Amino acid sequence: AHGRQVNFGPGPAALPTSVLEEASKGILNFQGTGIGISEISHRSKEFVAYLENLKSLIREQLDVPESHAIMFTQGGGSAQFSAVAMNMLSRYRLLHPNAKAEDIKMDYVVTGRWSEKAAEEARRLGGGSVNVVVDSRKYSATGKLFDNIPPHEKSVYNFSPDPALICYCENETVDGVEFSHEPTSPAAFPFDLLPDAKLLPLVADYSSSFMCRTIPRLADHAIIFAGAQKNVGPAGLTILIVRKDCIVDVDAAVKFGASPVPLTLSYKTLFDTNSLYNTPPVFSMYVTGLVLEHLKALGGMPYFEELNRKKFTAVYEVVKKGAQQGTFQLKVKEGSESWMNVVFDIPDEAAKKRFLDDAKKNGLLNLAGHRLVGGIRVSLYNAITLEQTLQLVDYCNKFLEDEL
Ligand code: PMP
């Protein structure tokens, strides 16, 4: 419909056509107010009610306990790299008023480019030192590749005893590496190896895997953050799930040595103002609300977990077949693959160009890998249907036959 093609891009990414059709009505007239969604006051009773419903749609579908607040902000995952470090350092200072900066540790689990960037930002901001809990490149064959989730062993994950925060990236969008959701898988996040603490300072970047399935051990997290622009909406909106003990008075922490936190990055500001300290991205929140209603109507997280498993399995099967044939090359260790971003290579440059050009002719767009990684990346976010996935699988099968 509407001349739309299949968009396998990594984000901003495909959105359900039915949602976009509905959204086009709201652009002209939001809920019969006579005013379009991009024109309405964020303090109008209609929009505030919409915001409350948006929170409920997330709380219900992810089963977020009352111990955690759901908040909205801007600046994407990148702003959260800064906000997480600053808010959690302030929290640590309030809990340990006599701490010296050199004793404060910020733990980063590095499994790809995004967790590496998060660690870099924490280093830049200072206020404590960054402890790289593990760098997964060490466990690749060349020592240089982000192609695996490291072995699930105490000697591998070097957590600090009492860190200000522990940050990991659930799904590495660029490298195509993800923690497994099978609790018994060696590639599952090592919850059992974390330091003992009643209130773990555990932070997860869910930018590219938010609401594509349930979140394991959600209640044990201090902070979960995600940009909307992959699985649930347009760019411009960042979703936060923050345990209430991490919503701290950042100004009070300054007298104990914490750096001042910009008000727009402070979780307390967002919490105290119901995410309306400044003008929020009303349009992005509107479309995200429609997407979340759509997810709920289809059966919520159990439905999408099953669907996304099928999509990943179908694509991975043909990728493996192509690798056996020698046309494709796997890039991620078995068991560590991302469901959302399937990354592989076509080592023959001419064949790769043919693959991408012909895919485009067949209406299958944005399959080129990230510029730092090259190769192919198939992003299979929620809005990609099983039919569209099978269209790509058929295309790959035909391509592989031609390359034989
Ligand atoms: N984390 C992950 C896992 C991402 O995929 C991205 C964006 N691709 C980011 C963080 C950065 O998000 P943003 O561009 O919204 O700042």
Mean pLDDT, residues 221-245: 98
**Pocket perturbation via mutation, ligand 1, pick of 84, 173, 224 by most ligand atoms within 8 A of CB:** 173
Torsion-angle region of residue 218: left (phi > 0), alpha (psi -120 to 50) or beta? Answer: alpha
Q: Cα 167 vs. chain centroid, distance in angstroms?
A: 13
What pLDDT is stored for residue 183 in this prediction? 86
Tens of pLDDT, residue by residue over 328-348, are: 999 999 999 999 999 999 999
Q: What does the block give as tokens for 143?
A: 């020592």
207: CA distance to ligand 1 center in Å? 6
- Which residue's structure tokens are 């409350």? 52
Mean pLDDT, rounded, of the chain: 97
With a 6 Å cutoff on the Cβ, whether 78 touches ligand 1 is yes
pLDDT band per the 50, 70, 90 thresholds, residue 216: very high
What pLDDT is stored for residue 247 in this prediction? 98
With a 6 Å cutoff on the Cβ, whether 225 touches ligand 1 is no
Ligand 1 nearest atom to the CA of residue 76, by list position: 15
Mean pLDDT, residues 48-69: 98
Domain ranges for the chain: 45-295, 300-403
308: CA distance to ligand 1 center in Å? 20
The three-state secondary structure class of 320 is: helix
> Distance between CA atoms of 291 and 264, rounded to whole angstroms?
26
Ligand 1 atom 2 nearest Cα: 207
With a 6 Å cutoff on the Cβ, whether 206 touches ligand 1 is no
Torsion-angle region of residue 316: left (phi > 0), alpha (psi -120 to 50) or beta? Answer: alpha
Strand partners, 378: 342
Ligand 1 atom 14 nearest Cα: 76
By C-alpha distance, which of 172, 307, 182, 306 is closest to 230?
Answer: 172
| pLDDT of 218 higher than 90 | yes
**Pocket perturbation via mutation, ligand 1, pick of 109, 208, 239, 341 by most ligand atoms within 8 A of CB:** 208
What would you report as the CA-atom Rg of the chain, rounded to the nearest whole angstrom? 22
> Distance between CA atoms of 40 and 21, rounded to whole angstroms?
19
With a 6 Å cutoff on the Cβ, whether 236 touches ligand 1 is no
Strand partners, 239: 72, 226
> Distance between CA atoms of 279 and 258, rounded to whole angstroms?
28
Determine contact, residues 371/4, Cβ cutoff 8 Å: no
Strand partners, 343: 377
76: CA distance to ligand 1 center in Å? 7
By C-alpha distance, which of 228, 233, 243 is closest to 84?
Answer: 243
pLDDT band per the 50, 70, 90 thresholds, residue 276: very high
What angle do helix axes 45-62 and 282-298 make, rounded to 10 degrees? 40
With a 6 Å cutoff on the Cβ, whether 233 touches ligand 1 is no
Ligand 1 atom 3 nearest Cα: 207
> Distance between CA atoms of 187 and 240, rounded to whole angstroms?
25
> Distance between CA atoms of 390 and 311, rounded to whole angstroms?
8
> Distance between CA atoms of 275 and 42, rounded to whole angstroms?
10
Beta-carbon contacts of 176 under 8 Å, excluding residues fewer than 6 positions away, are: 331, 332, 337, 338, 341, 342, 343, 377
| pLDDT of 365 higher than 80 | yes
**Pocket perturbation via mutation, ligand 1, pick of 78, 110, 225 by most ligand atoms within 8 A of CB:** 78
68-73 and 6-7 beta bridge pairing: unpaired
With a 6 Å cutoff on the Cβ, whether 207 touches ligand 1 is yes
206: CA distance to ligand 1 center in Å? 9
385: CA distance to ligand 1 center in Å? 23
Superfamily the domain 300-403 falls into: Aspartate Aminotransferase, domain 1 (3.90.1150.10)
For residue 12, is the peptide bond before it cis, meaning its omega torsion is within 30 degrees of 0? yes
pLDDT cut 90: percent of the chain above it: 98
What pLDDT is stored for residue 1 in this prediction? 75
| Residues 270/276/279/281 CA torsion (nearest 10 deg) | 80
With a 6 Å cutoff on the Cβ, whether 76 touches ligand 1 is yes
By C-alpha distance, which of 283, 281, 335 is closest to 312?
Answer: 335
Q: What does the block give as tokens for 341?
A: 């971003």
Q: What does the block give as tokens for 122?
A: 């924490």
CATH of domain 45-295: 3.40.640.10
ipTM score of complex: 0.99
With a 6 Å cutoff on the Cβ, whether 208 touches ligand 1 is yes
